[in-house]
Structure 1
């Protein structure tokens, strides 16, 4: 825990992942599409399960490669080849197949989310906002599909370019915070601080990026006397760029919002600014938009989020510092925690979706069986209850509209 390289990587990791969560449109879309209560619990539970990736999976495979003394070069490690090397050493071709399946699922899932996120930004925030304000749902869908194809091709070409110029996965991961870290505090302030300046947020984000890149280049020159891929990729240089990005933008936005352009934004007006497509009225119910429900969900996630952050980032590492170099028994306890965390996450992400979707799964299976037997499909109890509630909530005006349609 006293490793200087480990501490620097940890800080870089925190800045980069703050940027990922705040700047990545796919996270926003998931949060907006979910009910407030579900979003709060889902993100917290998802974060706890995700921690098994660096803790249980990466730690075990990384330490195993060292224990087995596998001939893995630094460039191969930077390209993310440690997990498959360990899997092949321990499990042979089966291990390679398992790693390939896991990697394929992760890349397809992430690539799909990013493609949808970018297409939504272009279709809604650029095409409908500035090019065709009266765009129909069909037109927006067409633009989204075009963007998905174009962006998918761009991702493939861009990854090949990065590979050819020698930027491996580890280098790009460390550099991520330099590019996107400057948007974290401006976005955070815009969501939670009514005096945050919109103009100041834009200025702070771009100014922070410029300062981060400048500091990153200067740090490489000071440390190595040159600007090269290797010089720019050291932990010290990357840490400088990451910290400048996130801290400078926060300072600039605070100064601009307090002393230059203070605002008094009313968050209650936010809903009125959201333009629906073709008067699509689906979404949250009035009960789910109740301020008391939203405040309860906010208190729930804020308290637990801060506690979990404090435990994982501060308390846990500090409690491990006195151990120094881990003894065999201490390390065995560490491994036990990692295994429990990994198996717990695996059980949650496997069982929970199945249990929550049990009604839908039963409906599909019963429908398939009844279709094979030539019987009428049986509607599940939840669907019948929802349909009955919808009938009870129907108004005469609504029934007249439905009859006319």
Structure 2
């Protein structure tokens, strides 16, 4: 019995009880006492048949595994490759993939991008700024990010990733948006050359020509200082970023408005006028706007370093230029030549008079519009503002007899 059981490796069967067979047979035993022996014999025969049946099943299974292992199995080798392709991704250079960082060291980070092998993010490709360790920019195990594939490691066929490339793309996009919105930004000057200074804006290095600098400071004095800038050219394909400090300062001065009086300092003299620094931006005081009297030599009236009050005549935001005048501030013609101190004392008063004349001219223009274009459906309020005709106006209309006549020039 034991030898038959040993033929089936791995099978375990409880041994037959031999407690009753261990005693010698006595002639005095009745038929009843023999029943346990007969029952044991029957159980032994049934177990033998079951073991033989299991042996046949195991042998058949072993033969099928050797000759036809995939027979009767719904998930075959083709199904495996199909499933693998389903979860595969494009590993070409330039492709963006999502991954999870699971290890970092001084060389960079290992990233799980659900590929056949992990990908590597080098420390120099982890940020657009210079760093020594990826954890300096928050790249620690468990962090999920979007990366771009920039290469392949020939040693182990693993992919090389970059975050810096994506950051540069976002920075260029941000600069294009800021240029479209025509906003003023802060830029830090980090270098200089013979043509201008280099400033960093949104992480990108841009060039500011000397012609677009409105400050009197030298390039060396501007290093590591923040200056206001506006975008002139944003060209990602050519890696060209041109900025202007002059346009930014002109935009800041625009809030003063035409007719505002500002304090300025004479920077330089030219035959056609004087350049005045009015709080960080160069304004031009043309020779014709110095005085009502003719000025043949500017140096007889102004000198570099002089402080004076000037009035803003106009500002060109696109070209970053501001036109100035002291002529409009003269109480009487020629005072800027004979008594400039008086001009500066009366500057605000004369500027107010100038603004009133401008407002009066605008009111006259509005009146002329109503007088010659009644079909326009507009009316003139008491403060000179045009608007639609309202029901509270008199039926006969407005009385314009008290308004001054329009001045017509040939």
TM-score, structure 1 as length reference: 0.20
Bigger proportion of residues as helix: 1
TM-score, structure 2 as length reference: 0.20
